Amino acid sequence: MGIAERKERERRLREEMILDAAEKVCLEKGFKGATVDEIAEKAELSKGTIYLYFESKELILMGIELRGTNTLADYFTRAAASEDTGIGKVMSIGRAYYQFSQDFPCYFAAMSKFEEISPKLVSQLVQVPIVKECRESGMRVLEILADTIQIGIDDGTIRSDIDPMKTSVFLWAASNGVLQMHKYRAAQISTINGFSPDFLLEEFHKRIRTTLQPDSHQ
């Protein structure tokens, strides 16, 4: 291994150490409540060292978000492979997204918070490698879902009059809203006619299946 390769490997390892610490702090305090000082303390590094690898707390969030979208892509890939039909794959991906939100609450929260970062700030950082990786990874997730929708169109289990990528983006946005309501508004939902928070998930999946399937399958 050459000097440049060794330095790159060491840099990557240090970044992963910082992100490990950041995940722990964010789970305890939430991203908004977490500070770079606390992340540095958890990582047993100086604050200055943290800034050598991540110039701002927002870039640390993007590092966590990147971990999340990469993990979510794996969840989606396995979920799609578990079913034969297009509609089955889409519904399995929907269930996998919920499971991901339960298994990795820090990643799910980071991905939600990422959307709150100022578009102006993101545009200023567009050439930063980790920002580009976040965008590419997020696109990969959408493409996995869009591909399964196209499979459904081809095998006749999903309507042929919809655009796979537009539908993928819609399902991503709608799913985020439902999962956040299920996670953060469970007590409030329970006061509505005694509904269980799981009612939201069940009803959402039913309506998505009905919306995507051709009339002949309903």
The ranges of the chain with pLDDT < 50 are none
pLDDT (0 to 100) of residue 74: 97
CA distance 170 to 95: 16
pLDDT (0 to 100) of residue 125: 63
pLDDT (0 to 100) of residue 127: 66
CA distance 101 to 177: 12
pLDDT (0 to 100) of residue 204: 92
Say what the pTM is. Answer: 0.85
Radius of gyration from C-alpha coordinates of the chain: 20
* Architecture in CATH of 1-54: Orthogonal Bundle (1.10)
Burial of 31 (0-12, 13-18, 19+ CB in 10 A): buried
- Is there a contact between 29 and 38 (Cβ–Cβ < 8 Å)? yes
Domain regions of the chain by residue span: 1-54, 57-217
Nearest to 64 by CA among 102, 99, 30: 30
- Is there a contact between 17 and 43 (Cβ–Cβ < 8 Å)? yes
CB crowding 122-139: b at 16 or more within 10 Å, else e: beebeeeebbebbeebbe
pLDDT (0 to 100) of residue 196: 77
Q: Which residue in this structure is represented by tokens 């919920």?
A: 98
Write out the CATH class of domain 57-217. mainly alpha
